A and B are shown apart, each in its own frame.
Chain A
Amino acid sequence: MTDDSADEPLTYEQARWANDDEVYEPLLSEKHTQRVDIDSSLPDELTRDSLELPDLSEPQLARHYTRLSEMNYGVESGPFPLGSCTMKYNPKFTEDVAAHPMASVHPDRSERSVQGILEVQYRLQEQLARIGGMDAVTLQPPAGAAGEFTGILLARAYHESNGDDRSEVVIPDSAHGTNFASAAMAGYDVVSLPSADDGRVDTDALAAALSQETAALMLTNPNTLGLFERDIVKIAEMVHDVGGLLYYDGANLNALLGRARPGDMGFDIMHYNVHKTFATPHGGGGPGAGPVGVTDELAFFLPDPHVRRSNGGYERYKPEHSIGKVHGYDGNWLVLLKTYAYIARLGDEGLADASAKAVLNANYLASRIDHEIPFGPFHHEFVASAGDQDAADVAKRMLDYGVHPPTTKWPDIVDEALMTEPTEIEGKRTLDQLAAAFNAVHGEDAATIERAPERTAARRIDQVSAARNPRLSWQALDDE
C-alpha cells in the first residue's frame, strides 16, 4: 500500500482489484471504479448517459464492511462513558422484535389493516406519558432535537391560541446546543441564562431574564453537570407567573426513572430521547426518536396524526388545533418499536433499578478518580476538570487505554471539562478499570498526551486541514 492509503480502501477503489489480474493490491491513487452506459426505454433527453459506482461481489463487500466495523468502536467494544449521550447496552432481542415481518408495512395503509402498529403506538404513548408524568405524548419527532423543535412549536401554538405573541425562549448557558438551535428555528430570540456558582439555575438571573416576552424556559434536570435543580418547583412558579411554559429536555431522564417525573416538577412540555433512556441503538449517530409529552392544556396542539382507542380498536386522528407535521410520516417507527419492547422487558422495577444503578455508578466512578470535580452532588453523570491538561488531548490519550473517552470541553463553565456518564451497564470491575485509565492519563506528561493516540489503528487525525481543504467525496479526491 502507498503511504497515503487508509487501512481499508474505498469500495470504489477496490473495484480495481477485480479488473486487473496483474494487481493484487489496490491502486489507491487511481481511484478506479465501474462505469456503465445507461440503456433505457425512456427518451434519451430524460436519462443519464452513464453511471459510475463501485462494483464488487457480495463476498468482497462482506469483507469490506466487516473490516470497516472492526475499525469502529461501539458499546460492545468497551466502556463508552460519553457524558450526556447515555451510551447503554442495547439488548439484542429488540432487533429481532423490529425485524418482525408485520413491523414493516407501508405508512399509507388503512387504519383497519394496521391495528397492531396502532396498538403499539397507543400503548407506548400511554406508557411514556406515565413515565414522564405528562398527559399526552406524540411519537412523531424523529430525534431529540426534532422533539425540541416540536415542543417549541407547541408552545408557540399555545401562546398564539391565547392571542399572546411572545418572542423569547430562555435557556441556561450549560444547556445542549440543540436547545438554542431549536428555539431559533421556531422563530424565537434566545435569552442565555448564566449559571449560578453552584452550577445550577441562578434564580436571580432567571427573574431578570423572564418577562411577558418569555414563551418558554428550556431546562434539563438533572442538568448537563449532573446536578439536580433543587429549586425546580420555584423555577416552575416563576416561569408560569409570567405566563411562560416550562420545557424539559429529556436527555438526562435516565437519572430519574421511577424516582421523579418532569410533569410532577411543573414541566408543561418534554421530549424523550428513547435512544438514550430506553437503550435503542444510536446507530453511529441515528436513527433515534424524540417523542414529546405535554399536559392536557397543550394536547390539542399535538402533531397529526395522534392515536386513540375507538370501538374496540385504535384509530388515527388529528388533534383539534394540531401544529401539523414534523416528519413526512409518523417518525422513526422501528426505533419506537424497540423502545416499546425495552420498556415491556424492564417494567416498573427494571426502569427504576436502571436509574438506581446509573446513579450509583456515576457516584462510584467519580469517587475513584483523581481529577477535581467542582460541582455536586450529582446523579448519572459528572463533570471533572482536566486542570492543567488539555481535555481534548486527554481524550485522545484515553483511546490508548482502550476506552472511549468522556465528552470534553463542555459545558464550558468547567475548565477543561471531562463530562462522564458510565450508565448502569458497567459493573464495579469495569468502573475500577475506567478510573485507572483516567488516573493514569492524569499523571502523564504533556509530551505523551500530545502524541496520543499511539495504539489506535488511525493515529491523531488532522481536523484542521480537513476543514480548511474540504474533501467530502471520492470525486473530490481526484486531484490528489
Chain B
Amino acid sequence: MTANGTPYAPHTEAETAAMLSALGVEREEELFDIPEEIRFDGTFDITNREERTTRALVGRVLSENDELVEFLGRGHYDHYVPSMIDHLTDRSEFLTSYTQYQPEIAQGFLQALFEYQSMIVELTGLDVANCSMYDAATALGEAATLAIRSREADGARVLVPERLHEGRRRTLENYLIGHDVDIEAYPMDDGNVDVAELTDRVDESTLLVYAETPTVRGAIEEHLGSIGDLTGEHDALFVVGSDPLALALLEAPARLGADIVIGDAATLGLPAAYGMGTGLFACREAFLRQVPGRLVGASEDATDRRAYTLTLQTREQHIRRERATSNICTNQAWVALRTAMHIAWLGPSGLAELAEDCVVHARELADRLNEIRGLKAPVHDRHHFREFVAHTDQPAQAVASDLEASGYAVHVVGEHEIQLCVTETNADSIDGLVEAATEAAK
C-alpha cells in the first residue's frame, strides 16, 4: 500500500515513517533547506489523473488534428517504419538507459551505435561518423564551427545555397553568432548549383561551401564533383547535406571531394514526428580531434575480447568545458539506434530499391501532374528524388488550400509554385491527389 502523490514512488506509509524517523524529522518538508521568503505556497493548477484518463485526455486533444494525406518533404520525410523497430527499441534496457559512461554494462547500446557509425561511414564514404547530433540544422551549425576551428580564420565567409531550408539557414546563423563570420548565399541554376557563379565567389576567405543533394527543391545535385574540385583548390571545406536513403543510391560524397557530410539520419527510423530528427555527421579523419558529439570506438576488455567504449572524450564539454568542440551532451542516440535498425532491416538491396523508388515515384507523379491543365511539373529539368516543384497557373496558396480541403497537404514554395513529395507511405494516394489537383488547378 503506497501513500504518495506520485504513483511512481514505491514508499509505503510505514517505510516513509521509518525513513523520516531514521533522519530524526517528522515530515519531508523539514529536509528542504530553502529560505522562507522564497518557499512556494501556490499551486500549478494541474489536476492529477489516472493513467487511463490521462491517455484519453491526450488522445482527445491530438484528435483535433485533421486527417490529411501528406505530400510534404523539404528535408523532412515520412517513410514506413517496420514494426520490429518499435518493439525492439522500446526494450527498456535500450530506452531507459543513459549515456554509456560505464561501458562494461552498456555494451549493447555501444555496439548498436558502433554499427550505426559503420553504416554512415559506408554511405558517405568518409572515415569517421559520430553517433548523432540533434538534427540536420544543428549538424550544419556544428560543421561550420568545426570549419572555423580548423581554419583559424576570423572574418571569413560561409557559402550556402540561396535556396536553403529556412530552419537550417536560421539555425546556422545562431551557431555562428559568436564568431566574426559572414554567411553568404550563392545562386542556383534551374534547381542545381550555379557553378560559374559559385566559382567567382570562392576565394581564400571562404571557410566552407555547403551544397545539398537532393536539394531542398528535390533535385539531385549534378555538380558535386566540380564543387569539390573548387573547394580543394582554395582550401575551403566542402560540406554536403544529404540523408541515408538518398546516399544508398547516389555517389558517396567523399568520392566527390566532400570533407563533411551532414543531414537528417532519422529519415529512416522515425515517422514524421512533427519535425523531430537525428543529425547525421561524418567527416574525414583529418578532423577527428575536432569532431563534435560522441564517438564509439572498439577496444578490448581485460580478457582481450573485443569491447566498445565511448572514446576521445577529451573533446567533450564535461572534460574540456569552454574549449570543447561542441556543447552537445544529450544527443539523439535512441533515434540513431532506430536508424541503424531500419537500415539493417532493409539490408543493402532493400535500401537501394527503396531509394530507386524515390526516383521513380517522383518522376511518375510529376508526369501525371504535368498532364493537368493549369499545372507544369517538374519546374526544374533535373533528376528528382522523392519530391519536385510544380508550377501553378492559379495562385499556389489557393491551389494548396483547395487540396487541403480535399484531404491533401502540399507545400507552397512560391506565388505560383507548390512542392510535392512522394514516398511509399503516400504512393497509394496518388490517384486521389491527381483527381483533386485536376479540380484545384483549373
Contacts and interface: CB of A to CB of B under 8 A. Distances in A.
B214 to A, nearest CB: 11
Contacts of B121: 472-475
Nearest to B135: A328
Contacts of A73: 93, 97, 102, 105-106
7 smallest A-B Cβ distances: which pairs?
A187-B178, A329-B275, A347-B48, A283-B334, A353-B5, A107-B275, A328-B137
A107 B272 contact: yes
B100 interface: yes
A34 interface: yes
Interface stretch (B67-75, B155-163, B230-238, B370-378): B67-75
Interface stretch (B203-211, B245-253, B434-442): B245-253
A68 B108 contact: yes
Given A10-B115, A184-B327, A285-B331, 4 more contacts: A73-B93, A97-B58, A106-B272, A329-B275
A352 interface: yes
Contacts of B108: 8, 67-72
Interface string A434-446: 0000000000000
Interface string A126-140: 010011010000000
A323 B178 CA distance: 13
Interface in A260-276: 260-261, 264-265, 273, 275
Contact of A36 (B117, B296, B321, B349): B349
A284 B421 CA distance: 32
Nearest to A425: B8
B8 A10 contact: no
A80 interface: yes
A228 interface: yes
Which of B55, B297, B344 has the most chain A CB atoms inside 10 A of its CB? B344
28 contacts: A5-B306, A7-B305, A35-B348, A42-B359, A54-B115, A85-B98, A87-B96, A87-B98, A99-B86, A116-B63, A149-B174, A190-B322, A285-B100, A285-B331, A328-B171, A341-B54, A349-B5, A350-B6, A356-B29, A357-B28, A377-B33, A404-B105, A457-B107, A458-B105, A458-B301, A467-B314, A472-B298, A473-B128
A424 B37 contact: no
B196 interface: no
Interface in A356-377: 356-357, 359-361, 363-364, 367, 377
Contacts of B84: 58, 61-62
Contact of B72 (A109, A357, A460, A470): A109
A426 to B, nearest CB: 7
Given A107-B274, A428-B19, A113 B305 contact: no
A344 interface: yes
Contacts of A91: 7-8, 51
A473 B118 contact: yes
A311 to B, nearest CB: 15
Interface stretch (B182-190, B335-343, B388-396): B335-343
A177 B363 CA distance: 50
Contact of A53 (B6, B332, B343, B360): B343
A187 to B, nearest CB: 2
B285 to A, nearest CB: 9
A363 B21 CA distance: 12
A109 B132 contact: no
Contacts of B101: 82, 407
B301 to A, nearest CB: 4
Given A40-B356, A325-B170, A116 B61 contact: yes
A183 B178 CA distance: 9
Interface residues of A, number: 200
B329 A474 contact: no
A52 B348 contact: yes
A166 interface: no
A143 interface: yes
Interface string A277-288: 001011111111
A330 interface: yes
B402 interface: no
A324 interface: yes
A327 to B, nearest CB: 6
Contacts of A48: 249-252
B274 A72 contact: no
A283 B91 contact: no
Contact of A103 (B48, B171, B274, B333): B274
Contact of A346 (B6, B305, B312, B313): B6
Contact of B28 (A35, A67, A360): A360
A46 B65 contact: no
Nearest to A102: B62
Contact of B409 (A42, A109, A178, A258): A109
A202 interface: no
B16 A74 contact: no
Interface in B294-323: 294-309, 311-314, 316-323
B168 A284 contact: no
